[in-house]
Chain A
Amino acid sequence: MITTSAREKTGWLGWLQSQRNRMIVLMVLAAVAMVIPLVANNYMLEVLTNAWFYTVLCLGLNIVVGYAGLLDLGYAAFFAVGAYTTGILTSQFGVNFWLTIPVAVACSMLAGLIIGGPTLRLRSDYLAIVTLGFGEIVRIIARNLEITGGASGLIGIDRPSFFGIELSRGIHFYYVFLLLAILACFVSYRLQHSRLGRAWQYVREDEDAAEAMGIGRVAVKLYAYVIGAMFGGVAGCFFAVKMTAISPETFTFTQSVLILLGVVLGGMGKIPGVVIGAFALVLFPEVFRGLGSMRMLIFGIVMLIIMLYRPEGIWPQSKS
C-alpha cells in the first residue's frame, strides 16, 4: 500500500490537512445542517433526520468496531434496550421522558457489561457470534414478554416536551437528532484522542504487545463496549419518542448489519468517514427507490467490494 505523507497530498485533500481549513469546512457544514430545515420539505427533513439518527448509531458502533477492533453483530440490541426502556417507562409508568434517559443509558450500559464482561476474553470471531446470539435473544425476549407489548410492540409512546414546547413536528426531531449527532461526533473525537482512545488503537493493532505495555486488555475492550452501548441506548430513547411506536422487528439482525455497514462503508475508526457512511446508508435507498427489495443485496455487494479493494473505506486514509 502506498502511504503518502500529509504534505505530499495535493488538491482538496491536501488542503484539508490543515487544522484551520478543517475547521472552516466543519463550520460551513454545520451551518448548512442548521439552515437546511428552513428550505427542505417534509420528506427531505424526514430522510435527513433519519440520517442523523444513523450517524449516532454508527458512531456508537464505530467505538466498538473501529476503535477497539471488535466485531459486534448484535448492536441493535443496545438500541432496543434504550428504546424499550423509554417506551415502557413513559407509556406504562407515566415517567417523564427526560427522566427515562439516564435509566435507559444505565440499562444499555448494563446490557453491555453483561454481554461484554464474560465474552471479551474470547477470540474475536467467537465474540462476533456471541453478540449475534445476544442480539437475537434480546429481540426474542422483546417479542415474547408482556411488558414489551409482545410481537406488536409498544404503541402510543408520548411525545416529550421541551420547555413547554411539545416535540412533535419533523423539524423538532431534526434538530434533536442533529444535536445528538454533533454530540456523538464530539464525544467520539474526544475519546479517540484520549488515553483510552490510544489504548484502544494499541489493543486493536497488537493485543499482546498492548498487554505487555501494561494496558488491561479486557478492561479497555469493556470500556469500548459499554460506551458503544451507551450511544445505542441514547439513540434508542429518542427513536422511541420520535416514532411513538416500537416493535421487535425494528431490532433485527439486519438492523445490526446495516449499522455495521455504515461504519465499514466510510472507513472504520474515522469520524467523518462514519458520518458519510451513515448518510450513504440512508440516502442510497431513497435515491434509488426502484431497487426496493434489492437494497440489502446491493449493500452486501458494496460491502464485499469495499472489504476486498478498499478496506480503509471510502474516506481516504490520513495516517502520518
Chain B
Amino acid sequence: MSNLDIILQQLANGLILGSFYALVALGYTMVYGIIKLLNFAHGDLYMVGGFVGFLILSAISGLLGESWGAILCSMVFSMLAVGLLGVIIQRIAYVPMLQAPRLSILITALAVSMILSNGVMAVTDGEYLAFSTDLSYDGLDLGNVFISYTQLALVIAACLLMVILYLFVHKTLYGKAMRAIAIDQDACRLMGINVNRIIALTFFIGSSLAGAAGVMAGVYYGSLHFSMGFVIGLKAFTAAVIGGIGSIPGAMLGGQVLGLLEAFGTQIPFVGSEWKDVFSFGLLILLLIFKPTGLLGKTEIERM
C-alpha cells in the first residue's frame, strides 16, 4: 500500500469511529449544556442500547431476517427504550439532586453508571454476546482502500441522525426552549416554559442517540460486552470537550476529530495500538488544561 492509500484507509476508519464518538458525545454535550451535569452513566446507556438492539433483533429476526430492515427496526426501538431509560434515570437520580453540591450529583451519576454496567453484567454473566447480522461483506473497492457498505451505511445513518438533531434544535420550538434553558433556566420558567419537561426531553434525545450508537457499534464490531460503555464514555466526553462542551456542532466535529486522531495516531511509528487509549486520554487532559472551551465552545464566566 502506498502512503496515500494508508491515509485514505485511515481516513475512512477514523470517520466511522468518529461517527460513534460524535453520537455519544452529543448526549454528553446536550445534558451538560442544559443542566451542567456530567452524566457518567451516558457511556453505559450506549452499552444498554447495544444490548436492547440485540434483543429486539433476535426477537424479530424470524419475521424480518437480520438484514437492513430488521436492523433499522431494532435501532428505532432501541432508541426509544434507551431514551426512556434516560428519562427514568433523570427522574429518579438527578432531579432530587439538582440543588445538591456538585460533588454529590457527580457521585450519584457514578452510582447510576455502576448500576447499569453491573446490572447488564449480572444479566449476561459477563459474557461477550455475538451480534450476528446477515449483512454482506461487499463494499467499495477503491484501489487499495476498502470501505464496506456496512461502514458506509453506518456513517450515513449517523450523519442523518445528526442532521435531524440539528434541525430539531434550531428549527423547532422545543429546540428553541432547550437552547433558552441552557442560557437561563429561571428566566425560562418565568416565560412559561415547562423546564422540567424540556430537560426530560433533552435526556430522552441524548440517551436515544447513545442507544443508536450502541446498536451501530454492535453491527459494526459484531460483539457486545457490558464494559464497552466505559471507554467510549470517556472518549465521547473527550470528543465533547474537543468540540467545546455544550455545543452541538462542536460535539459532532469533536467526535470526528477524535476518530481521525485515533486512526492516524496508530500509524505513528513506535506507538502501537495498545497506546491508543493513552493517546486520547492524554489529549483530553492536555485539552482540559490548555483549552477547556474546545474548538467551538464559548468562554463561560461561572456564576456565583
Partner-B contacts on A (CB < 8 A): 65, 69-71, 73, 115, 118-119, 122-126, 128-130, 132-134, 136-137, 140-141, 143-144, 208, 253, 257, 260, 264, 268, 293-294, 296-297, 299-301, 303-304, 307-308, 311
Cβ distance A305 to chain B, nearest Cβ, rounded Å: 9
Verify A308–B96 contact, CB threshold 8 A.
yes
Cβ distance B91 to chain A, nearest Cβ, rounded Å: 12
**A-side contacts of B274, CB under 8 Å:** 140, 143-144
**Bound complex: CA of A300 vs CA of B110, how far in Å?**
8
Partner-A contacts on B (CB < 8 A): 36-38, 93, 96-97, 100-104, 106-108, 110-115, 118-119, 121-122, 125-126, 230, 234, 237-238, 274-275, 277-278, 281-282, 284-285, 288-289, 292, 302, 304
The 9 closest A-B CB pairs, nearest first, are: A300-B114, A133-B281, A297-B118, A303-B111, A304-B111, A300-B115, A125-B38, A296-B118, A307-B108
**A-side contacts of B38, CB under 8 Å:** 125, 128-129
Verify B302–A123 contact, CB threshold 8 A.
yes
Cβ-closest chain B residue relative to A125: B38
Given B97, B103, B237, which contacts A308 in the complex, CB threshold below 8 Å?
Answer: B97
**B-side contacts of A129, CB under 8 Å:** 38, 234, 237, 284, 288
**A-side contacts of B107, CB under 8 Å:** 71, 260, 264, 303, 307
Verify B126–A293 contact, CB threshold 8 A.
yes
**Bound complex: CA of A126 vs CA of B115, how far in Å?**
22
Can you add 9 more A-B contacts, CB < 8 Å, to A129-B284, A296-B114, A304-B112? A124-B102, A126-B292, A129-B234, A129-B237, A141-B278, A297-B119, A297-B121, A300-B111, A307-B107
Cβ-closest chain A residue relative to B101: A69
Verify A137–B103 contact, CB threshold 8 A.
no
**A-side contacts of B118, CB under 8 Å:** 293-294, 296-297, 300
Cβ-closest chain B residue relative to A121: B289
> If A303-B111, A307-B107, A311-B100 touch, does A293 touch B122 (CB 8 Å cutoff)?
yes
Verify A297–B114 contact, CB threshold 8 A.
yes
Verify B103–A297 contact, CB threshold 8 A.
no
Cβ-closest chain A residue relative to B37: A125
B interface secondary structure, majority = helix
> If A137-B282, A140-B278 touch, does A304 touch B115 (CB 8 Å cutoff)?
yes
Cβ-closest chain B residue relative to A207: B304
Verify A297–B104 contact, CB threshold 8 A.
no
**B-side contacts of A130, CB under 8 Å:** 284-285, 288
**Bound complex: CA of A37 vs CA of B302, how far in Å?**
54
Cβ distance B90 to chain A, nearest Cβ, rounded Å: 13
Cβ-closest chain A residue relative to B115: A300
**B-side contacts of A133, CB under 8 Å:** 234, 238, 281-282, 284-285
Cβ distance A215 to chain B, nearest Cβ, rounded Å: 16
> If A293-B121, A304-B93, A304-B112 touch, does A124 touch B106 (CB 8 Å cutoff)?
yes
Verify B122–A297 contact, CB threshold 8 A.
yes
Given B96, B101, B277, which contacts A136 in the complex, CB threshold below 8 Å?
Answer: B277
Cβ-closest chain A residue relative to B280: A133
The 12 listed contacts between A and B (C-beta, < 8 Å) are A69-B101, A122-B292, A129-B234, A140-B274, A257-B110, A268-B103, A293-B118, A297-B119, A300-B112, A304-B93, A304-B112, A308-B108
Cβ-closest chain B residue relative to A131: B285
Cβ-closest chain A residue relative to B290: A118
Cβ distance A220 to chain B, nearest Cβ, rounded Å: 16
**B-side contacts of A141, CB under 8 Å:** 278
**B-side contacts of A73, CB under 8 Å:** 110
Cβ distance A85 to chain B, nearest Cβ, rounded Å: 20
Verify B285–A119 contact, CB threshold 8 A.
yes
Verify A137–B281 contact, CB threshold 8 A.
yes
**B-side contacts of A301, CB under 8 Å:** 111, 115
Cβ distance B279 to chain A, nearest Cβ, rounded Å: 10
**A-side contacts of B289, CB under 8 Å:** 118-119, 122
Most chain B CB within 10 A, of A71, A143, A304, is at A304
